[in-house]
Structure 1
Amino acid sequence: MTMDWDRRHCARKGHITYAPDENHLRRNLHASTAVGTVWRCLRCGDFVLGEPHGSGPADRAPLMPRGRALRDLFILRFLAVERVLRGLLVILAAWAVWKFSNSQDSVRRLFDDDLTVFRPVARHFGYDLDHSPVVDTIQKTFDYKRSTLRIAAGGLGLYALIEVVEGVGLWFGKRWAEYLAVVATAAFLPIEIYELTEKVSYFKIGTLALNILAVLYILIGKRLFGIRGGHAAFEAERRGESLLEVEVAAGETVPPLPVRPRSAADSV
């Protein structure tokens, strides 16, 4: 069973009706009923009771995403939420690194004091804290210069800003955000692949697969960088579908009748 994206979206956001100036289209887009005038929704095609939401020339009808376009918008908004959440997490990481750079010595003393307290307990359970890889990694960070930590915090902040801006743009279906998503995501793919060579995990594999699919989907589906006709073909497709929405809803486009093969009796 396939999902009816048009009716699903109208159920959540409401119908959109339009009264074109052209009389032959206008007549077919509305009807009179016992309860009042109804107009056909440009998205799902159902008749809606009440006055139209807009009016004007047919070629100025609102660009209503429907069918595949609505599905694409849903996927883009899923990616947008993922990007914004990732950006917020990176912002927290940048803030933590910045705070750490300002109180590096006090954090070192606190860590050493706690390590001294837990060392006998760990030794009792056969765990050597003095040779622990995790402890060694934490202690190495105490030796980083404050300027290095602040540069790292600034880099994380810039990355978070890119993710948040990208997410907001994708949510509203902006084309510049699609370019930003492809470029930014593709730029970090080599790093993600390198991390897999160091240590493999299901989370890393899933993240890499999601990012690769996102790049291919946006790149090909949205005709970026001249693919499949580029921006001109993409806009022509959107505008053409919008004009067809008015014509099809008005009954202008009628499928051709099937042609019956001629028999010998027809020739007589």
Structure 2
Amino acid sequence: MKLDWDRRTCARRGHTTYAPDEPELRERLHARTALGDVWRCLRCGDFALGEPRGSGPAEDAPAVPRGKALRDLFILRLLAVERGLRGVFIVLAAWAVWQFSNSQDAVHRLFDENLTVFRPVANHFHYDVDHSPIVDTIRRTFDYRHSTLLIVAGALLVYALVEIVEAVGLWLARRWAEYLTVVATAAFLPLEIYELTEKVSWLKAATLVVNILAVLWIALSKRLFGLRGGRAAFEAERHSASLLEVEKAADAWIPTADPAAAAAAATAAAD
């Protein structure tokens, strides 16, 4: 079953109705029924009881996303949520590095004390703690200089800021955010590929696939970097849709001379 993005959105946000100043268009979008005046929704095309949400010249009608545009907005907002969550986790990682840099010696002593306690248990299960890759990695962090750890924390904060800015821009469907997302994501793809060559994991592979698909989808669907006609084609498509929004909604409806049918349609829309 095909998802009706228009009616799904109207069910959540309500209908978007508009009364154009042009008499012919106004008559085609408006009807009177036994229940009251009804106006045709610019998004889903259904009738809605009550006064229109806006009025004015047809060219000033709101540019209401419909169909494919709504689906694209939904995908962008999914990416925005993912970027936002990633940004929050990176901020937490930066805070942890900064805290560690300020108490490095104390953490080192605590680690050695707990490792001594844990060693007999590990030996019982034939696990060599002293030559464990995890333990070796942790010990190497204790050799890092305080200034180095501060640089790492600062770099993480910058990375987190980029992710959060991406998230806000994508949620608002800003074109600059789409460019930023493509450039920033593509810049880290070589590093992700290198990490896979070092050690393969399902998480790393899935992250790489998602990032590649995100780059391709945003670049192609939003016509970035001159693809599919570039910005001119994108703006022309958006501008055309905005100017024809009222006309399309009007053309989709043929007025009926049967008041009972109009009242039934209005009742169904109200339900």
Interval of TM-score (by shorter of Structure 1 and Structure 2) = over 0.9
Once the two structures are superposed, residues 174-203 of structure 1 have per-residue CA deviations (whole angstroms, 9 ceiling, x without a partner) of 111101100100000001000000000111
| 1:251 maps to amino acid | D
Once the two structures are superposed, residues 87-144 of structure 1 have per-residue CA deviations (whole angstroms, 9 ceiling, x without a partner) of 1111110000010011000000000000111111111111111111110110000000
Aligned-pair RMSD on alpha carbons?
1.2
| 1:146 matched residue in structure 2 | 146
Once the two structures are superposed, residues 216-268 of structure 1 have per-residue CA deviations (whole angstroms, 9 ceiling, x without a partner) of 000010011121122221121112122332112112899xxxxxxxxxxxxxx
Aligned-partner SS, 1:31? strand
Once the two structures are superposed, residues 1-36 of structure 1 have per-residue CA deviations (whole angstroms, 9 ceiling, x without a partner) of 211000000001111001111111011001000011
Preserved contact between residue 30 and residue 39 of structure 1 (Cα < 8 Å): yes
| 1:117 matched residue in structure 2 | 117
Once the two structures are superposed, residues 143-196 of structure 1 have per-residue CA deviations (whole angstroms, 9 ceiling, x without a partner) of 001111110010011001110110111011111110110010000000100000
The 3 A distance-change label for structure 1 pair 186 and 111 is same
User: In the aligned structure 2, how far is the partner of 1:242 from the partner of 1:50?
Assistant: 24
User: In the aligned structure 1, how far is the partner of 2:253 from the partner of 2:31?
Assistant: 19
| 1:266 matched residue in structure 2 | none
| 2:224 maps to amino acid | L
User: In the aligned structure 1, how far is the partner of 2:235 from the partner of 2:2?
Assistant: 27
| 2:9 matched residue in structure 1 | 9
| 2:213 matched residue in structure 1 | 213
Preserved contact between residue 98 and residue 150 of structure 2 (Cα < 8 Å): yes
Aligned-partner SS, 1:69? helix
Aligned-partner SS, 1:19? strand
Preserved contact between residue 45 and residue 252 of structure 2 (Cα < 8 Å): no
Preserved contact between residue 247 and residue 253 of structure 1 (Cα < 8 Å): no
Q: 234-243 vs 112-121, which deviates more?
A: 234-243
| 1:87 matched residue in structure 2 | 87
Segments of 5+ residues of structure 2 without an aligned counterpart are: 255-271
User: In the aligned structure 1, how far is the partner of 2:164 from the partner of 2:252?
Assistant: 44
User: In the aligned structure 2, how far is the partner of 1:244 from the partner of 1:229?
Assistant: 21
| 2:167 matched residue in structure 1 | 167
Preserved contact between residue 28 and residue 253 of structure 2 (Cα < 8 Å): no
Aligned length: 254
Preserved contact between residue 38 and residue 47 of structure 2 (Cα < 8 Å): yes
Aligned-partner SS, 2:139? helix
1:134 aligns with 2:138: no
User: In the aligned structure 2, how far is the partner of 1:51 from the partner of 1:230?
Assistant: 40
User: In the aligned structure 2, how far is the partner of 1:207 from the partner of 1:129?
Assistant: 31
Aligned-partner SS, 1:65? coil
| 1:257 matched residue in structure 2 | none
| 2:228 matched residue in structure 1 | 228
The 3 A distance-change label for structure 1 pair 107 and 51 is same
Preserved contact between residue 81 and residue 167 of structure 1 (Cα < 8 Å): yes
User: In the aligned structure 1, how far is the partner of 2:253 from the partner of 2:84?
Assistant: 43
| 1:230 maps to amino acid | G
Aligned-partner SS, 1:173? coil
Once the two structures are superposed, residues 23-64 of structure 1 have per-residue CA deviations (whole angstroms, 9 ceiling, x without a partner) of 110110010000110000000000100111111111111010
> RCO greater where, 1 or 2, for CA within 8 Å and sep 6 or more?
2
**Among the aligned pairs, what percent are the same residue?**
72
Aligned-partner SS, 2:251? coil
Aligned-partner SS, 2:37? strand
Aligned-partner SS, 1:43? coil
| 2:193 maps to amino acid | I
User: In the aligned structure 1, how far is the partner of 2:53 from the partner of 2:233?
Assistant: 29
Preserved contact between residue 181 and residue 215 of structure 1 (Cα < 8 Å): yes
| 2:264 matched residue in structure 1 | none
Superposed, 1:1-268 pairs within 5 Å as 1-251=1-251
